[in-house]
Amino acid sequence: MKVIEAEILNARILIVDDQASNVSLLEQLLSEAGYTHVVSTMQPQEVCALHRAKSFDLILLDLQMPVMDGFQVMEGLKTNSTDSYLPVIVLTAQPGHKLRALQAGAKDFISKPFDLVEVKTRIHNMLEVRLLYRKLEDFNKVLEQAVAERTAELRESEARFRSLTELASDWYWEQDENGHFTRVSGPVLEMLGVGVETLSGTSSNAALGGWNQAEHDLLQATIAARQPFLDFALSRINPDGTRQQFRVSGEPMFSQSARFIGYRGVGVETTAQGQNSAVLRASA
């Protein structure tokens, strides 16, 4: 990120001083240095309105003025501007005012009577910092917008993924990092043996609703290890003695910072496929 010389010379500058000779001197100095957008006023009460309308990159502000001094102007600028950066260089002949001015929010100071080389150097340096600050603000806004747009795209993509997986499967579920189910479609809780333990706390084939104990334990171990699985075979015996077969797939979910945030998976019943194959073999 860099500020070119042309940007500095095109910066918007406001001179505020109740002495016409000081205003003329600064205007001539800035004009000879190549600055092209310089405005001046001898009325400090106009500064806030001018800055609101023009959004100056730099304000050269005299501290000792009638009606409204430079400190009062700076207080007004703080409440007047949405810009958190106060682009003020104070002009003062009082050494004791310098620290107070910096504490009030001024970014630099120029001593009176003016040293013209010092004036030009401080103005140039101040504008370079100010314009870099603005570029950084603009970049952050663009970055925030890009992040917001990307987040929206990811959410839309995830919503499409969920819709497609739910349409293409009999079950869909999501768990958070603590294993709590946050989204369930179909008999997933029963399939994973959640909430179907016996009152004594032991697990059995009956307590698992007829699910195969060994298959169930292996699936639970795979999930606990945060491992993905594809077409994992599960089966159960129904109370009427019929057998059902299923294929389940799942994967752990991680944030952009690689933090584990949960699990998601899908399942389909394959019993009908197995029965159809058996019928075909029997007819052959």
For 160-201, how does the pLDDT look when each residue is reduced to its tens digit (9 = 90+)? 666 555 545 677 778 888 878 888 776 666 655 544 332 223
**Domain of residue 109, CATH code:** 3.40.50.2300
118 and 197, same domain (yes or no): no
Give the mean pLDDT of 105-122: 91
Tell me whether residue 38 is in a domain: yes
119 and 223, same domain (yes or no): no
125 and 15, same domain (yes or no): yes
Tell me whether residue 268 is in a domain: yes
96 and 180, same domain (yes or no): no
Q: DSSP for 131-150?
A: HHHHHHHHHHHHHHHHHHHH
Q: Which pLDDT score, from 0 to 100, does residue 42 have?
A: 96
Judged by average pLDDT, the poorest of 49-63, 99-113, 150-164, 251-265 is 150-164
Domain count, the chain: 2
252 and 174, same domain (yes or no): yes
The mean predicted confidence, pLDDT, of the chain is 81
Q: Which amino acid is at 175?
A: Q
Q: Which pLDDT score, from 0 to 100, does residue 279 have?
A: 34
137 and 194, same domain (yes or no): no
Q: How far is CA 199 from CA 184, 206, 237, 251, in A?
A: 24, 12, 21, 31
128 and 248, same domain (yes or no): no
For 15-60, how does the pLDDT look when each residue is reduced to its tens digit (9 = 90+)? 999 999 999 999 999 999 999 999 999 999 999 999 989 999 999 9
Tell me whether residue 150 is in a domain: no
User: Phi and psi at residue 193, in whole multiples of 5°?
Assistant: 75, 25
Q: Which pLDDT score, from 0 to 100, does residue 143 have?
A: 86
253 and 134, same domain (yes or no): no
What is the separation, in whole angstroms, between the first and last Cα of the chain? 76
Residue 114 has pLDDT above 50, yes or no: yes
Give the mean pLDDT of 118-145: 89
210 and 266, same domain (yes or no): yes
Q: Show which of 141, 159, 184 is a domain's final residue.
A: 141
Whole-model pTM: value is 0.53
Residue 231 has pLDDT above 80, yes or no: yes
Query: Which domain, by its residues, includes 27?
Result: 5-141
Tell me whether residue 250 is in a domain: yes
Q: Which amino acid is at 264?
A: R
Q: Which pLDDT score, from 0 to 100, does residue 174 have?
A: 84
More confident residue, 122 or 255: 122
Tell me whether residue 11 is in a domain: yes
176 and 81, same domain (yes or no): no
Tell me whether residue 154 is in a domain: no
Tell me whether residue 147 is in a domain: no
- The token pair at 121 is 């150097």
114 and 231, same domain (yes or no): no
**Domain of residue 279, CATH code:** 3.30.450.20
Tell me whether residue 99 is in a domain: yes
Q: Which pLDDT score, from 0 to 100, does residue 140 have?
A: 86
175 and 74, same domain (yes or no): no
